[in-house]
Amino acid sequence: MKRTYADLHLCVNFNNLEQVSRAVTRASRFGYGLVAIPFPPRFAETQVKQLQRICEDAGIEFVSRVDLRPQTPEELLNGLRRLRRKFEIIAVLCESKNVARQAAKDRRVDLVSFPQFDFRRRFFDAAEAELASCSLASFEIDMKPLFTLEGAARIRLLSSLRREAATAKEFRVPIVVSSGASDELLMRKPMDLAALASLFDLNGESAIEAVSVNPAAIVKRNREKLSSRFVAPGIRVIRRGKDC
């Protein structure tokens, strides 16, 4: 079966359709089959349709995503109730330990990530990973900071990522590697991202899965849940009618 590569965090400005088109065209040329472009919590349906058309024209699948940045667990819960049925991917940037713990244990959260520049607020530890292993949350790593940071800041980030990736593997929490690219010049081919993942000690197969199997599995799972045929995990409506 042909492997599908995915970039679930292409952070181009969705209001700039020319920039979106360039980035999506490049992603298609690089061999990606799925791309997710994050929307703000408040968005217009017409904007989603515009991005879908751009992706269709480029021969690539569009995935709708929202990035939540809650200040409290209550704010996170409110956002999940309001948005879970509207997006295929829900990611949470965890800036406090309480939010991180709530996000890790909530089955409505797909991706958890942490501040890239404030190393005191990276809370992905054993307790966090254990909670995530019992839910459906994956640990997302953006590659953009590795291109933009320099010197001691880059070294500290790599040290954190090595520790966090090891913790994720220990507790079998899926790792998703995304570009986080805000400009097409920061985009990289899937195998390039997988090669860079070796910097935080992911082996070859694990690194490739982080840009293919793991993100694609999230999209497939959520599309099934958002289908009108979905009833509960493992239960689907096969046929409707009086003779059923």
* pLDDT tens for each residue of 99-144: 999 999 999 999 999 987 777 788 899 999 999 999 999 999 999 9
Residues 13-67: pLDDT tens digits?
A: 888 999 999 999 999 999 999 999 998 888 778 888 899 999 999 999 999 999 9
Q: What is the pLDDT of residue 235?
A: 58
Residue 205: which of 196, 194, 189 has the closest Cα? 194
The Cα 21–Cα 17 span in angstroms is 6
Q: What is the pLDDT of residue 178?
A: 97
Q: What is the pLDDT of residue 104?
A: 96
Residues 82-98: pLDDT tens digits?
A: 999 999 999 999 999 99
**pLDDT(230) > 50:** no
CATH no., domain 5-236: 3.20.20.140
Q: CB of 60 within 8 A of CB of 24?
A: yes
The Cα 14–Cα 40 span in angstroms is 10
For the chain, domain boundaries: 5-236
The Cα 57–Cα 24 span in angstroms is 9
Helices (H), 85-134: 97-105, 126-133
Q: CB of 222 within 8 A of CB of 88?
A: yes
pTM of the model: 0.89
Contacts (Cβ under 8 Å, ≥6 apart) of 115 = 93, 95, 121, 122
Q: What is the pLDDT of residue 95?
A: 93
